[in-house]
C-alpha cells in the first residue's frame, strides 16, 4: 500500500503555503502521496467550532507548518486519530513546533525511515452540563480556561476534585492545564512548568483575590468539577486551547477530566526538552563546565 502524508500549513501565510507545496513535491518524487490543507480560520473564540476531519485519517504522518496555534488546531482535528505529528516552527516561541524550517528536510528524511521517536501527550476533555443536560464537549491539548469578558470584575468559581470540595476561587479566572500546556497560558499566569509526560494536571487561578490561592498539581486521573458562583452572569466564557469558546451561564457545571485521546508528537533528532526550555525561555548561560549545552539544532 502506498504511503501517504498530510501537510497542514498556517492560515493566510504565504511562506508556509509555499513551503507546503515544495514539501508535497519532495514527497511525491519519493513515491509518497501528499495531501495539502490550509488550516481553517477559527474566526472567534466565542464560537463553538466542532472537531472536523480535514484530511484522510489513514495517512502515516502529519506535518504542520506554522506555529503552536496551528499545531493545536491540527491536533484537535487530526491528531485524535492517532496520526503522528511533526511540528515545524515558522516564527514565534514554538514549544510544540520544535524544528525550524531549515531543519525540515533532514528531519523528514529521518521520519520516513522511522528513525525518530514518538512521544505521547495527554489531552483534556471538558463538558458543560446545563440543568442536568450535556450541552458541550471538547478535547484539547493545552488548556481549558474559564474567565470573564469584563476584566475589571472577578468571578467566583467553586471547585471540586473527585466530588470533594477544594475551594472557591475568587479570581479573574481559572486555568486547567495539561503538562503540554503548562508552558502556555499557565506559565504566563505564574504556574509551574511540568515535564510533558508527567501524569498530572495544573489548576491555576488567574490573579486571585486571595493571595493564598495558589496553583495546585493533581493526578491526571482526577475529575475536576467547576460550578459558577451565584453572582456570576452570562459574561463568563469557557475557552479551549485559546482558540475555541463557549458562553457559560451561572447554572452551568464544567467537568474536566483526562481525554481518551492522546496526541503523538514526532520528536526531532537529539531532542532535549531542557534545551528547549533554556532556548525558548532564555534561561541563563548556554555552557556548563566549559561544555556547550546548546546541542544540535
Give the H/E segment covering residue 16.
helix 14-29
Cα separation, 151 vs 228, in Å, equals: 17
Give the H/E segment covering residue 119.
strand 118-130
296 is catalytic: no
Which DSSP state fits 290? Answer: T
Which cell is 10 given? 498556517
Which cell is 2 given? 502506498
Most distant CA atoms of the chain, gap in Å: 63
Which cell is 265 given? 508528537
Which DSSP state fits 33? Answer: E
CA distances from 60 to 122, 173, 207, 268 (A): 20, 40, 43, 17
Start-to-end C-alpha separation, the chain = 34
The number of CA neighbours under 13 Å toward the Cβ of 92 is 17
| 68, 172, 241, 252: the active-site residue | 68
CB contact set of 50 (below 8 Å; sequence gap of 6+): none
Q: What is the DSSP string of 216-248?
A: EEEETT--EEEEE-TT--TTEEEEETTTEEEEE
Buried b (16+ CB within 10 A) or exposed e, 243-281: bbbbbbeeebbbbbbbbebbbbbbbbeebeeebbebbee
Give the H/E segment covering residue 131.
none
Given a contact cutoff of 8 angstroms between Cβ atoms, the answer to whether 73 and 240 are in contact is: no
Residues labelled as active-site residues: 68
Amino acid at each position: 500500500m502506498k504511503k501517504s502524508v498530510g501537510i497542514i500549513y498556517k492560515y493566510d501565510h504565504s511562506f508556509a503555503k509555499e513551503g507546503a507545496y515544495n514539501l508535497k513535491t519532495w514527497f511525491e518524487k519519493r513515491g509518497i502521496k501528499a495531501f495539502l490543507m490550509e488550516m481553517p480560520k477559527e474566526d472567534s473564540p466565542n464560537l463553538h467550532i466542532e472537531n472536523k476531519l480535514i484530511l484522510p485519517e489513514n495517512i502515516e504522518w502529519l506535518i504542520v507548518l506554522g506555529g503552536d496555534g496551528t499545531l493545536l488546531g491540527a491536533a484537535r482535528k487530526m491528531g485524535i486519530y492517532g496520526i503522528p505529528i511533526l511540528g515545524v516552527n515558522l516564527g514565534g516561541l514554538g514549544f510544540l513546533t520544535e524544528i525550524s524550517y531549515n531543519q525540515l528536510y533532514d528531519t523528514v528524511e529521518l521520519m520516513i525511515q522511522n528513525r525518530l521517536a514518538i512521544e505521547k501527550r495527554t489531552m483534556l476533555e471538558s463538558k458543560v452540563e446545563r440543568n442536568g443536560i450535556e450541552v458541550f464537549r471538547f478535547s484539547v491539548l493545552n488548556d481549558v480556561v474559564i474567565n470573564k469578558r469584563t476584566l475589571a470584575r472577578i468571578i467566583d468559581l467553586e471547585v471540586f476534585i473527585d466530588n470533594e470540595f477544594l475551594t472557591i476561587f475568587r479570581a479573574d479566572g481559572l486555568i486547567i492545564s495539561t503538562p503540554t500546556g503548562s508552558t502556555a497560558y499557565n506559565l504566563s499566569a505564574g504556574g509551574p512548568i511540568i515535564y510533558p509526560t508527567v501524569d498530572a494536571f495544573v489548576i491555576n487561578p488567574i490573579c486571585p483575590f486571595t493571595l493564598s490561592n495558589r496553583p495546585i498539581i493533581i493526578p491526571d486521573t482526577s475529575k475536576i468539577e467547576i460550578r459558577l458562583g451565584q453572582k456570576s452572569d452570562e459574561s463568563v466564557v469557557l475557552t479551549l486551547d485559546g482558540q475555541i469558546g463557549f458562553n457559560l451561564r451561572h447554572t452551568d457545571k464544567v467537568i474536566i477530566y483526562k481525554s481518551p485521546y492522546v496526541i503523538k508528537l514526532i520528536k526531532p533528532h537529539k531532542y532535549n526538552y531542557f534545551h528547549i526550555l533554556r532556548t525558548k525561555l532564555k534561561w541563563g548561560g548556554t555552557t556548563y563546565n566549559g561544555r556547550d549545552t546548546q546541542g544540535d539544532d
